[in-house]
A and B are shown apart, each in its own frame.
Chain A
């Protein structure tokens, strides 16, 4: 990877290109792990800063994307460990149960498309909440496979685990999701 070599030599323009290319996947993974936009942005930024400061250790034969994803993942896991357990799985404005006895506000959804839109919105909210409630390693593989559309091989490289482990985590994650989302599935 030419950009990585140039960045290792101190070329900030090359590094900026690498950031541009990989920022979406790094941010996406951070978002699924830490659960809030602001924290995910900060975590992604920190991951890139760490990547730059240790880019001389980067093995150019490996894909830069997998390497920086691994840095981001390790940083997010550190963040989650430092959090209090009660905060670990709460996501930002997603999947929050309405107050007991208080109906959710349907105004916008009715304006857009009626009852079906409300159901869609509820299903989406439940999906987000169900994903956010998974253990971190399951959230990682769900984010990388279903949102980032990475292959098993790419995920295995990013997480530095065997491909079989990726498949196992993914299958278990979907099994858990299936039971959590049973009411929304046929």
Chain B
């Protein structure tokens, strides 16, 4: 399915172009920032959208990806941070995988050194050359306990008719599999049953690099305050008190936007409370 421009489908999102045009429209000749150019304005606005995308108006994207043959899943190109990864059941619910920070994603050196222009090292300098590598996730030599090392961590809640493990309430921590984020290779290492071939990744995307950057109307004023603050922040002609005022205005607007967007309702609170009413076995 092609890209869907949600800015044309409702009034809850505002495009970057609209924010920029409104900003220039309301700029007066005696403003401190009246002589800025559009390229600078766009750059600052995009940085603002990126900033808001991280912790004010994060747009969570969900993407279904294949599990590669080496039990890895490539992260999306606009990935910033992971929210959840799981598989989708027949009931339409995502059953999340648990994070296991002990899944192995080691590599091994494969002979020759990397040419300087291979972008493997931190900088394209000869002294920063590193050896070529390839994936090697096989087990290491030596004694390895092949039994379940986490067996002892299972909480055995209730034993019925001497059947070990006949549980009324199952302990937490069980998932449909496990994953580990491998930022070195920009992918996920997956450990799950072999019949699962796809996972769903919910992640925070970099809104600033999307083809049509948007900002929620709740955060529109905060973005304008951010643009003004950032534009006058480094101008030597702007008085220090104006810079301070712009800074506090930005943080105030940001706080307001965050409060409006974190819409924790009364119904949500009641639902959470009612979850704690549970039935128990009767003797």
Q: Do A and B bind each other?
A: no
Interface residues of B (CB under 8 A from A): none
